Structure 1
């Protein structure tokens, strides 16, 4: 059987040394996948929006951006002249720019919200997911100004098919909206389960996104998200990537409005020969914007994981602060872990922080647990159990909880079903 190949997936905005094999990934998908629509939506009727709601919200934000720029003084920096096609390289007042810097300067000059919009998995994967989902089948949630709303979308694996949902969330000013997306495979089979999610958070809106993967190891999960935040908007993202033989997650956020914020809380498990591949990109464009990327995971068997985290402090984001942290538990010696936190900075009066803790259970913690009769293997198993139980405790949906219980049984992880 041949394969469809998706290239430049989860690519870092500013590549590092190629020999590290971390800049991007390639996904090989089985040839001949049919497009399925095994999707269940639970939401109140008043939350439904029109197909062009997202584009209209972006256009409204663009009008505000243009108005603010018209009042700003002219920018005469030499770096803006460096991207001109006929610039004289002998002019020592013009800086030499890398390919990434050229792109960044052009985006800054254009100041176009729609053109700068991106999803974390990249253009090729985004186009493939949109094609599989079908533009006419896009699910649109549009909570009204000052209102609250909740929705849940379930996607189940369909044997021999790609089951993909395209979802838009457009939260009006002051709205609060909670969305849970669950990718599961209660029936045996093989294929792709994916979600293409676009989020627009209006002024002072609060959007909570929770994505849970409890797929069996024969399935591939694709989770692709792009977020735009207006002034004062706050988006929280909770990723629980617990199952799937191969799981690819991309998230890109444009903190365009002043005092906007995104928090990303990721927990993952990988066992046997599982693959977990992440790409998080946060662009700080507004003043006093804030982001927190916090990842925790356990790798078992011969599993592999890559996490790319890029905080981009764009010129003009004075007072912005970005933080990324990861804690990785290496349960077995044959696992492969790659963690690459990146901070890009083109502004002063900003703060960028990153750190990673990678290894086995800390010696003092292990000593404490051994004194209570637990071996190292049992102690490290507690972390996997805790990840599963935390997901079940914080998500009330019974279908999600059933998927967590089934996953625990397949992985032979001690697990006790929880109750509210």
Structure 2
């Protein structure tokens, strides 16, 4: 197994508990800020979602750097806490290549789905009809909102909700049904909502969300955080649009008309039907008073301290920490490594220096090749042979703990 595949596999597995911790922290923070402005909740959700990709990325880089200089990249105690079953960690290590291949296959499928969505939007923008009168109205509205870029308007028959796509040359796709069935002032309110996304460069953030969702598709916390980002973003756009397009009541009426239509949601674009439409309508008609107080700040401070403590606990007492007694091999349980036939025929010899992680149950759960014999087949044979041994685990404060030990195997011909 390559060093990269092993490092990537353990990084993906570690994100199971890391993502859960980030999701819990974000949920508590958003609950404490439920009375705050949507901009504040949006920043919290974005920061949590960004941390979901930065944390495993930093861990992967650290594992690869450690492997490059010949240091071990141990399985942390947090994984052992999640997977305490006897023999589970060795099974994960044994099937690590399959785990990474399955992850990569899902990535390819999700990328294909995203690409097809982007191609559909490009085709709709290219084939959509142009309405000069409404293009002029939207240009004036964009100028009033401080947008200096040219925003194109296209009318699409097979669409049921306005969609914004692109950031350098943004385009707003409007369904033909809205153009013919919605009063001018209500349609203008919906266009103001889409222009609010353009002004805030929300399309770029949306693309980053899609990338994070694709890479970490297997974790529910990532999808929940991404939904919260989109929901808060729609509320922010509603506030901007209602300020320039006739007030919140007019936008609420436009959204209520939009709710009557059946539509499909495109994750690669920004649609006016994002978030909970009924919640958005209710909020526009009956805005709640913001409740930013010292209590929210105190709750967030307590949350930060608790999360720091959890992270410290997860990494504390790791297998690299000093132990009272070291792990000892039970050589009666070991089998002599089998000499690979091709290596024996070529009379390859050498010394393999391996570093093993011995679990609290006395089993080998991870390894690091410190120095090679010069023959990869001999290295692997030594690893397989020693990994079948049972060990008396190391102890710390009288209790068995996971710890690293080093062993050498000398391949020599007599």
Q: Which category of TM-score, normalised to the shorter sequence, fits these structures? A: under 0.3
| TM-score of the pair, normalised by structure 1 | 0.21
Larger radius of gyration: 2
TM-score by length of 2: 0.21
Larger strand proportion of the pair: 1
Q: Which has the higher helix share?
A: 2
